[in-house]
Amino acid sequence: MLGNHSSATEFYLLGFSGSRELRHILFATFFFFYLVTLMGNTVIIVIVCLDKHLQSPMYFFLGHLSALELLVTTIIVPMMLWGLLLPGMQTISLAACVTQLFLYLALGTTEFTLLGAMAVDRYVAVCNPLRYNVIMNSRTCNFVVIVSWLFGFLFEIWPVYATFQLSYCKSNVVDNFFCDRGQLLKLSCDNTLFMEFILFLMAIFVLFGSLIPTIVSYTYIISTILKISSASGRRKAFSTCASHFTCVVIGYGSCLFLYVKPKQTQATDYNRVVSLMVYVVTPFLNPFIFTLRNDKVIEALRDRVKQCCHLFRN
């Protein structure tokens, strides 16, 4: 649509193809996922803040992780839902595209940094329980969270800036339901091979920089758990890590497919499916992962429900 122009002031999101009925079915499905994601993560944040039994480092990190999931989903999904209701392509301004790209990349980087920190927290809890409260004190936890947020936002400034310094003379139609960086690079008439290589190295640094501490931590955790003589003791020790481990497998697995690839401009259908996994399905699953397998969270939820019922009766 740009013709011979050297830059774009707006983009068109192609979104999902298909009949009107199919788009309405997709809207209903993703809207349900979004509502559950909002409610689930909000509930986790509220009970972590209010329940005195959940005032520990693990739940402190969990509250921030839920806030990140909430924000990432809200940046992507409402625009996607609006696009499903429109008869044609969805228009997004250059400023909105820059903002969306920066926020979802920054929040994603923050989330991976926090997941790595949570793995180390589980290592200290299982392998060095007597010094856990000394090592993971409130000052340490606050420092870890602040550094995670700052690193996530500062780290993504250059990649987003460099992306929008390119000339978009081929087209301004983005073949996805959000401002996908891979598709933006595909639209540029500049040579992006070197930039794609740098972005690949940066993605490697973020994902593997947080994955390596996770792997090392769980290696020691599993080794320690296997040395516990009683089956009930091993089960109890592993249950404290099961939720985080499941979240790590799903989160890292989908993002490895999406971002860690030398060629950023990969097949659009592939990108669209994996993007749905990262920004819709994973945030939807995480509240269930962290609540259904966690007795303390379930107990806290039950207590809050009882209090609400008691208030309504009075």
Report the SS3 class of residue 265: coil
Residue 2: inside a domain, yes or no?
A: no
Whether the per-residue pLDDT at 3 is higher than 50: the answer is no
CA neighbor of 45 nearest in space, from 62, 33, 58, 30:
62
Give the pLDDT of residue 265.
47
Residue 25: inside a domain, yes or no?
A: yes
pLDDT-derived band of residue 25, with 50, 70 and 90 as boundaries?
very high
Average pLDDT over the chain reads 84
Q: Mind listing the pLDDT tens digit for each residue in 246-266?
A: 777 777 776 666 655 545 445
Report the SS3 class of residue 169: coil
Q: Which two structure tokens, joined as six digits, stand for 194?
A: 């070197």
Q: How many domains does the chain have?
A: 1
Q: Mind listing the pLDDT tens digit for each residue in 104-159?
A: 999 999 999 999 999 999 999 888 888 998 999 999 999 999 999 999 999 999 99
Range of the domain at 277: 10-312
Q: What is the mean pLDDT of residues 217-231?
A: 85
Give the pLDDT of residue 261.
54
If one compares 299 and 314, the residue with the highest pLDDT of the two is 299
Residue 302: inside a domain, yes or no?
A: yes
Strands 90-93 and 10-13: antiparallel
pLDDT-derived band of residue 4, with 50, 70 and 90 as boundaries?
very low
Q: Mind listing the pLDDT tens digit for each residue in 53-81?
A: 788 888 899 899 999 999 999 999 999 99
Give the pLDDT of residue 249.
77
Q: Which two structure tokens, joined as six digits, stand for 303?
A: 């207590």
In sequence order, the β-bridge partners of residue 305 are none
> Would the pTM count as exceeding 0.85?
yes
Give the pLDDT of residue 35.
95
Residue 4: inside a domain, yes or no?
A: no
Q: What is the CATH number of the domain that holds 98?
A: 1.20.1070.10
Residue 5: inside a domain, yes or no?
A: no
Give the pLDDT of residue 145.
96
Strands 173-174 and 90-93: unpaired
Residue 3: inside a domain, yes or no?
A: no
Q: What is the mean pLDDT of residues 199-214?
A: 89
Rounded Cα distance between 67 and 275, Å, is: 19
Q: What is the mean pLDDT of residues 196-208?
A: 89
CB contact set of 298 (below 8 Å; sequence gap of 6+): 291, 292
% of residues, the chain, pLDDT over 70:
90
Residue 1: inside a domain, yes or no?
A: no
% of residues, the chain, pLDDT over 90:
34
